[in-house]
Chain A
Amino acid sequence: MTVTTTGRTRVGSRPAALPAARRRPRLPFSPWHLLLVPLAALFAVPLVWLLLSSVMSNAEINRFPPALWPSRIDLGGYRYVLGNAMFPRWLLNSLIVSAVAVTSNLVFGTLGGYAFARMRFAGSRVLLVLMLATMAVPFQLTMIPTFLVMKKLGLIDTLGALIVPALVTPFAVFLLRQFFLSLPRELEEAAWIDGCSRLRVLYAIVLPLARPALATVAVLTFLTTWNDLTWPLIAINHDTQYTLQLGLTTFQGQHHTRWSAVMAGNVITVLPVLLAFLFAQKAFIRSVTSSGLKG
């Protein structure tokens, strides 16, 4: 697995020899594991249970007390979810919305961030301050008028209503601006003097250096759009336009007795994020911590 590859190099952080009086009988491992293992189990158990119950039969779940371990693997839940319900459609909707949001945040975030970092134009100061101010605006404050705007645009009940507000966030613009500011100017200026256009400079010189920042924007945009429930709940009524999150919660409401199917649907909802996380764990954790440490 890729998860144990965090080589941490701390040199000489411990005194070499402890006083003999403090030496206790030695365990073959650090005593802290006695605390950490049960805690880690506590964090892992709900997810393990999610996976297990998705392959149980309904009979096993509906018994009292319910079984804690499947006697055999039953894929009935998955068959039901993929055959009868609209999960494939919802999965596709979620993929479309997230893919468009990630791509457009990368493109518009880069363009906007670069202009704010490097180019001089009238009004740039005011616009930057306004943009920063919007980062502090809670979504609840804007959701009712945003609904009315989307209704005016005729986008309510379409994926467009989910995509348009997510096209570019002030966070993406600001994060990339900060990153571009940290790059040395000389490289770009040299190319600019040689007659390269701004767009070419951006594409050929700046972007290859900006990979970590772009990864952060991609990861955080994907996480927030994929996981969002509030806005789809408001903007979408018709079940062909549901995202996975919205579909899952309505599905649960309608199939209260088919827990194995609900859990199968839940696995499908969680799996893309989980896979992305396990494959790009370093990028995920770095994204989250860097946005935290600089905040």
Chain B
Amino acid sequence: MPRLPTPLTLPPDRSGPHTLRRRRRREAATAWAFISPAVLVILGLSILPVVWSLLLSFQVNDLVTPSRWVGLDNYRALRQDPNFHQAVENTVVYTVLYVPLSIAVGLALALVLNRRIRFVGLYRTLFFVPFVISATAQGVLFSFILDPEFGAANSVLHRLGISPQGFLTDPSQALLVLVAITLWSGTGLCTVIYLAALQDVQQSLVEAARLDGAGRLQLLRHVTLPALTPVSVFLLLWQTIQALQVFDLVYVTTKGGPLGSTTVIVYFIWEQAFKEFTAGYGAAAAYVLALALFVVAVLLRVVRGRERTPRTKAAAS
């Protein structure tokens, strides 16, 4: 610690309006110097692109030649594009499977680990480690493990007498396999966050419920879970946003195949913009996705607001 100056608590300035104003002005200049890098990067590479994207979505653009204005044509085309429909469907299936499963399993693991059990730290580490590994590395690893010919998974199945599976090369399995891989890497996050939240559940409440004769399940239902609601809502929002934006894993493992069975929305956007060079069309699809994300966020905010009101009322009375 640096040596602190003697604690004066005088108001900052009393030396007259002139110096005060000068100091204010200098302060504002310093403040602008402090924030300008952040403002430049964030506004330049975020606000500007958001507007630009909107304009692009009304244009035909190939990233090279000047673009042409087409109005709502891109959006109309999206509505009729079977590939886009499939991408939306795949993304929804993926999200609906992944989000509740990861939260439920994460919660169950956290509840078990929250009992005074030995090696909690070791278990927590093991469940959480896959989370820090990049989607690329996960994808490459599982492409190998699940390789129909050379993979360990089929080797194990063979030893158990089960016929070899296609996994990522089978159109009816690929999306489910992707969900499983993401569960492997994403459940630990839920566990760790729930574990931290469980530490904050008021022990006095738990004790009181116990004294009133609440069993384990009643305790869980009426004390623990309600106390965890804010965290659950956060995880629901966070995991949904992550799931709707899945891309890296798909690019590395299946490239949207086989037969488009794993083409998700972001993969569709990337393909349109940077492979087919129809950037305006891609931008329109990106806007549809952004709108969906926005709706999810607003819905959850409403739910959360409704959750919060009764409790504060109860606390006040």
Q: Which of B24, B132, B137, B152 contacts A49 (CB 8 A)?
A: B152
A36 interfacial by beta-carbon distance below 8 Å: yes
Q: Are A43 and B188 interface neighbours, CB within 8 A?
A: yes
Contact (A15, B210) CB under 8 Å given A44-B126, A46-B141, A168-B42? yes
Q: Are A281 and B2 interface neighbours, CB within 8 A?
A: no
Q: Are B109 and A39 interface neighbours, CB within 8 A?
A: yes
Q: Are A145 and B43 interface neighbours, CB within 8 A?
A: no
Q: Are B9 and A229 interface neighbours, CB within 8 A?
A: no
Please give the distance in Å from B113's CB to the nearest CB on chain A.
8
Q: CB-CB < 8 A to A15: which residues of B?
A: 210
Per-residue interface assignment for chain A, residues 179 to 221, with 1 indicating a CB less than 8 Å from any chain B CB and 0 otherwise: 0000000110111111001110000110010000000000000
Task: Compute how far the CA of A12 lies from the CA of B199 in the bound complex, rounded to whole angstroms.
Answer: 14
Q: Are B39 and A293 interface neighbours, CB within 8 A?
A: no
Please give the distance in Å from A59's CB to the nearest CB on chain B.
12
Q: Are A43 and B130 interface neighbours, CB within 8 A?
A: yes
Q: CB-CB < 8 A to B178: which residues of A?
A: none
Q: Which of B32, B149, B237, B289 contacts A64 (CB 8 A)?
A: B149
Q: Which of A43, A49, A121, A173 contacts B126 (CB 8 A)?
A: A43
Q: Are B8 and A193 interface neighbours, CB within 8 A?
A: yes
Contact (A138, B282) CB under 8 Å given A4-B119, A229-B136, A281-B125? no
Contact (A288, B189) CB under 8 Å given A115-B35, A144-B56, A249-B251? yes
Per-residue interface assignment for chain A, residues 72 to 107, with 1 indicating a CB less than 8 Å from any chain B CB and 0 otherwise: 000000000000000000000000000000000000
Please give the distance in Å from A89's CB to the nearest CB on chain B.
17
Q: CB-CB < 8 A to A138: which residues of B?
A: 241, 245, 286, 289-290, 293
Please give the distance in Å from B47's CB to the nearest CB on chain A.
6
Q: CB-CB < 8 A to B231: which residues of A?
A: 292-293
A289 interfacial by beta-carbon distance below 8 Å: yes
**Chain A interface residue bracket vs B:** 35 or more
Q: CB-CB < 8 A to B121: which residues of A?
A: 3-6
Q: CB-CB < 8 A to A292: which residues of B?
A: 189, 193, 196, 231, 234-235, 238
Give the residue name and chain of the B residue nearest to A128 (CB): B35
Task: Compute how far the CA of A189 lies from the CA of B38 in the bound complex, rounded to whole angstroms.
Answer: 25
Contact (A293, B290) CB under 8 Å given A32-B117, A66-B152? no
Please give the distance in Å from B228's CB to the nearest CB on chain A.
11
Task: Compute how far the CA of A87 lies from the CA of B248 in the bound complex, rounded to whole angstroms.
Answer: 20
Q: Are A47 and B129 interface neighbours, CB within 8 A?
A: yes
Q: Which of A10, A47, A134, A204 contacts B47 (CB 8 A)?
A: A134
Q: Which of A1-37 touch B at CB < 8 Å?
A: 3-6, 8, 10, 13-15, 29-30, 32-33, 35-36
Task: Compute how far the CA of A286 lies from the CA of B85 in the bound complex, rounded to whole angstroms.
Answer: 40
Please give the distance in Å from A234's CB to the nearest CB on chain B.
6
Please report B residues at the A interface, Cβ cutoff 8 Å: 1-2, 4-10, 12, 24, 27-28, 30-32, 34-35, 37-39, 41-50, 52-53, 56, 63, 109, 112-113, 115-137, 139-145, 147, 149-152, 154-156, 158-159, 184, 188-189, 192-193, 195-197, 199, 203, 206, 210, 231, 234-235, 237-238, 241, 245, 247-248, 251-252, 266, 269-270, 273-274, 279, 282-283, 286-287, 289-290, 293-294, 297
Please report A residues at the B interface, Cβ cutoff 8 Å: 3-6, 8, 10, 13-15, 29-30, 32-33, 35-36, 39-40, 43-44, 46-47, 49-50, 53, 61-62, 64-66, 68, 108-109, 111-112, 114-116, 119-122, 124, 127, 130-131, 134, 136-149, 151, 164-165, 167-170, 173, 186-187, 189-194, 197-199, 204-205, 208, 223, 226-230, 233-234, 245-246, 248-249, 252, 259, 262-263, 266, 269-270, 273-274, 277, 281, 284-285, 288-289, 292-293, 295
The 7 closest A-B pairs by CB, nearest first: A227-B134, A145-B49, A112-B38, A142-B49, A6-B121, A145-B52, A65-B155
